[in-house]
Structure 1
Amino acid sequence: MAMRTLLLSLFFLSSITSASPTKLTLDLVGVIPEVCTMKFQDNQTVDLSSGKPRLINFEVNCNSPL
């Protein structure tokens, strides 16, 4: 136990007295599922067959090409 404490103390002392910056790199690997949603304000339904123009606010959330 004393040897472990001594080694930890030496490590911290050497890192405190070191004047040069330390470079750290981190590689991440993972998968982000594709998402593409359209959210209409107030859950409005859009009738595309009527041929009448309408103005509707909506949000698009896509992390992939349309």
Structure 2
Amino acid sequence: MTISPGDSCLIKRLRGTYTFKYATVSDSGEISLTFVGGPPGRYQFRSFRPDQIKSVLTTTNRNGTRK
């Protein structure tokens, strides 16, 4: 699965929709994906491992428009 900034996703075992912002790689090689979102009215920045992504709901093209 490929994910780009602006893509909306569902996260396993969490309510709400999260929008992908950026990814980081630690010194030990672990990938961390940073999102903003959550249940309505409770939006916050959260980081998750790639295996915690349940599904990608919407994707964006390179020019920033929704597919």
Same fold (TM over 0.5): no
- Which structure has the greater CA radius of gyration? 1
TM-score computed with the length of structure 1 as normaliser? 0.21
Task: From the two aligned structures, give the one with the greater strand fraction.
Answer: 2
Task: From the two aligned structures, give the one with the greater helix fraction.
Answer: 1
TM-score computed with the length of structure 2 as normaliser? 0.21
